[in-house]
Structure 1
Amino acid sequence: MLHNKRKSAWRRPLLLIIAAMLVMTIAAACGSKNDNNGGNGGTEGGTPNTGATIATYTDGTVTDDEFTKYKTFFILMNPQAEMFLSIPQYEEQFLQEYIGYKILFDRMSDESKAAADADTEEFRTQFETAVNDQEELQTRLDEGGLTVDEAVDFFHLIMAVMKDAESKVTDEDVQAIFNEDPSALQTASVRHVLVATTDSQTQEELRTEEEALERAEDVKAQLEAGGDWQALAAEYSDDPGSKENGGLYEDVNVSQWVPEFKDAALTQEVGVIGDPVKTDFGYHVVLVEKRDELTYESLTDEQKNALRQTAASEVLNEFMQTELPELIQSIDLPQPEAPEGTEPPATEGTENGDAGTDGATEDGAEGNAPADETPANEEAPATEEETPAQ
């Protein structure tokens, strides 16, 4: 299930990826116990400058060994990123962002860095446990030349930068983010019957639009006459994710749905079956069972913290877009060897700037209601099985 999120050249903070993927990394236990938990002597904010220099920036450099270790750390936290980092344009953008983290970390006070200590120690405990329990994880560390101490330092680097950015966000900034799009946090409980025009697996036509609309109107009439949602959804719905559940999606963030379905969830009268709603998937017969009206005052601390992180991302984005390009003096990543007789792929337009990563998504969501599909950045695209509402 893909979400429609705020777009930015900065994308999601790396911290959010680490937080989301760490649990998956630890949970995917494999192999036998290994008592070797890495090397000694952590290297705060990066590794020693061994290896060839691949980037130069104001007051610093990045070597190939250091960058390899950072990529190894990132891939361990988010294995799906390995595919994207094999693409030169994405790899260069990733290196630029790493340089940005290092610059921001070096500018911070010791007090600001210490604000991330508690989270970092918690990360160390969990990560060491995972490495001890998973032989494969230790193997990946060894292959990337990465020690546990270095992984912890990378985590501290990212956490400290994010916390410092959050410290610059005021309550007024948080409320402004909410006011810009209150529906971004809106949840609703919705039942629907999808009458699809095409098969989600084969893309073959199931019925014409006219036939789908007629079928949807028939379902609506049966429901309005007292028909049972459980029975009618099981018989008529082409959404495998909800048809056996009476078509119900309960307390779901409406922002993950395609615009037409989202609009119905936000505007349709509660308790009243609306006219069939047309989306790219077909026609939906929709009943909004519950929709809590949101105000800024009614937000939970968790919701406000999510908005604060969004605002902090914009603080980082401002730096990455406006100041960082002027601080990077050179980037010289090794280029993949082109097949004999061919020219290497062009990387025009990626130096010190956005590498065409617009349209990132965040966490997947359970269920298979119509998802608002935006191109994925650092997450693997959902499969058709994950979005069978199509």
Structure 2
Amino acid sequence: MKKKVLTFCVAALGAFTLSACSNASADGDVVAETANGDITKDEFYNKLVDQYGDAVLKEMLYDTVLSEEYPVSEEEVQAEIDKVKESYGDQFESALQQNGFKDEAQFKDFLKTQLQKEKATTQGVEVTDEEVKEYYENMKQEVQAQHILVEDEETANEVIEKLNNGGDFANLAKEYSTDSSSAENGGKLDYFSTGDMVYPFEQAAYNLEVGNISKPVQSDYGYHIIKVTDKREKEDNSSLGTFDEMKDQLKTELLNRQANPEELSDIMNNAEININNKDLKEKISF
């Protein structure tokens, strides 16, 4: 949750400063006076719009478009607030300020929009209790593998055919793999754990027996052919909570790891949005 707060602090800061500008304008046209000249509310506002307007407007558009089809209850938002408070403890209020939120109410608005996005991108995704349990057990292990990354399925099948005919995995990685960081090393990867790799790759690797080779696995990077070379228990699992303690958290994590960001883009691009401000219109895309 901390990561989420930090990720969107710029948008939140923009919302805060624009709000501050609105409040200041009630006292007159001059926001600040100096010996060298005044700063008017219009100058101040235009500067804020230029720096933060696109981020703030984009978040407002998300909320407006998504609120009807993907409603988020007060209870859902409060549950997220409680998680953040538990994480930060006595530092919660200062953490809000440091991340650009003027108060808890503004942070709640932010969280509401994020939950709406999560619902939009995870619609149709189902996670069973068995999958959550398997994910929990995988967290106790590390996997070592080799992989060959190619751009298309046709090339992936070509590599698979050569492997089936006795081709050497390392040599084929050097010949075919587009992953420059591992290709010259025969596709060899360091030990990794859950969360270190994109989800389709991770899921395939953990489901393979040592020595076995996967079918082509599609991810955002292309098509992977994976060979698991070792599995081992982590040296220290003492910080891992019990399954019952982590079940809900892990289910949410699995949902989000299988989210489809393109779904959100499609929703927004089909929403008939008309931005009247030319400068902001040029900056905002979904």
TM-score (norm 1): 0.37
> Per chain length, whose mean CA-contact separation is higher, i.e. which structure has more relative contact order (CA < 8 Å, sep 6+)?
1
TM-score (norm 2): 0.46
Structure with more helix by fraction? 2
